[in-house]
Amino acid sequence: MTDDAPVTEQPDTRQLDELLDDIFRGQERMSQADIYRRAVSAELPADLLARIDALPEGEYAVDEAADLLGGTVA
pTM for this structure? 0.80
pLDDT digits (tens, 9 = 90+) for 14-69: 899 999 999 999 999 999 999 999 999 999 999 999 999 999 999 999 999 999 99
Count the Cβ atoms, other than its own, within 10 Å of residue 45.
Answer: 11
Helices 62-69 + 14-23 axis angle, to 10: 160
pLDDT at 3: 57
How far apart CA 68 and CA 30 sit, in angstroms, is 14
Give the pLDDT confidence score for residue 8 in this predicted structure.
Answer: 46
Is-contact 65 35, C-beta < 8 A?
Answer: yes
